[in-house]
């Protein structure tokens, strides 16, 4: 990713420090690379760890929905075969993972959210009376289930993995409390909750809430924004596209706006 002009002009000493909360795998590495490419100093704090359940998507459904790269990998490891099902990915990262695992991807919504997938399926497919299998984490949005059920589908959910907070997480909370962060990038409601739990565990919860009033808070999607606001956090950026790259770019742009005022 090519940095924009303002980012390219930053020296090492004035790079904004931005916290990213991806799982501790290549996604966290890519997030760090993205932030560096935008002229920022990444603070990588993995707020999510994966605990597989050993389950696989049920067979026989008319539609199968996968919502993450992790879910695709676990489904593939379990030997899942979609059969004649229409395979739906919630976004391009999930679609890429399906493709890499050898699965055909039939549906990717224009808006990479649960709402976007519901809108795409109800507008373009005969969902009424169809069976839909949703295979994902234990923290999936109820929006997807309710939206498809309201459209007349019979919906079943299989939990492929649980998302837990790594014991060592929380460095970013301490940096925020000390006034040493310029921005945070929350990628799910759970990253918000785990970040605040880590702050409380390290006894800096009150200081972190105060600090978040001063930094740029960026989030992916309306559900994450709602969670943040419900927890007393002012949200500055809701990414226009549900990808970390867009979130990072728009968060850095908001920081640049503040700097040039």
Q: Which residues of 40-74 are buried (b: 16+ CB within 10 A; e: fewer)?
A: bbbbbbbbbbbeeeeebbbeebbbbbbbbbbbbbb
What average pLDDT does the chain have? Answer: 92
Does an H or E element contain 216, and which? strand 216-219
Of the pLDDT bands very low, low, confident and very high (cuts 50, 70, 90), residue 4 is very low
CATH architecture, domain 17-50+170-260: 3-Layer(aba) Sandwich (3.40)
- Measured distance CA(219)–CA(13) in Å, rounded: 26
197-238: pLDDT as tens digits: 999 999 999 999 999 999 999 999 888 999 999 999 999 999
pLDDT of residue 101: 97
Do 240 and 250 contact (CB within 8 A), yes or no? yes
CATH topology of domain 53-164: Rossmann fold (3.40.50)
Q: Where are the domains of the chain?
A: 17-50+170-260, 53-164
User: Within the chain, how many helices (H) and strands (E) appear?
Assistant: 11, 10
15-56: pLDDT as tens digits: 999 999 988 888 899 999 999 999 999 999 999 999 999 999
- Domains 17-50+170-260 and 53-164 agree in fold: yes
pLDDT of residue 32: 97
């Amino acid at each position: 990713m090519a940095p924009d002009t303002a980012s390219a002009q930053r020296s090492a000493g004035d790079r904004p420090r931005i916290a990213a909360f991806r799982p501790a795998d290549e996604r966290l590495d890519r997030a760090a690379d993205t932030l560096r490419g935008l002229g920022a100093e990444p603070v990588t704090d993995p707020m999510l760890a994966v605990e597989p359940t050993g389950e696989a998507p049920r067979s026989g459904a008319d539609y199968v929905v996968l919502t993450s790269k992790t879910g695709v990998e676990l489904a593939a490891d379990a030997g899942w075969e979609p059969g004649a099902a229409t395979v739906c990915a919630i976004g391009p990262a999930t679609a890429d993972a399906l493709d890499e695992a050898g699965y055909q991807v039939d549906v990717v919504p224009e808006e990479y959210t649960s709402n976007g997938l519901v809108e795409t399926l109800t507008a373009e497919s005969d969902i009424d009376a169809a069976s839909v299998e949703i295979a994902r984490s234990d923290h999936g949005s109820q929006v997807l289930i309710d939206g498809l059920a309201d459209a007349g589908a019979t919906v079943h959910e299989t939990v492929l993995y649980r998302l837990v907070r790594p014991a060592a997480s929380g460095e970013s909370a301490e940096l925020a409390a000390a006034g040493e962060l310029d921005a945070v990038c929350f990628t799910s409601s759970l990253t918000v909750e785990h970040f605040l739990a880590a702050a409380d565990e390290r006894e800096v919860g009150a200081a972190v809430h105060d600090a978040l009033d001063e930094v740029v808070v960026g989030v992916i999607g309306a559900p994450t924004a709602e969670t943040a606001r419900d927890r007393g956090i002012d949200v500055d950026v809701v990414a226009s596209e549900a990808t970390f790259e867009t979130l990072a770019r728009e968060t850095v742009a908001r920081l640049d706006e503040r700097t040039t005022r």
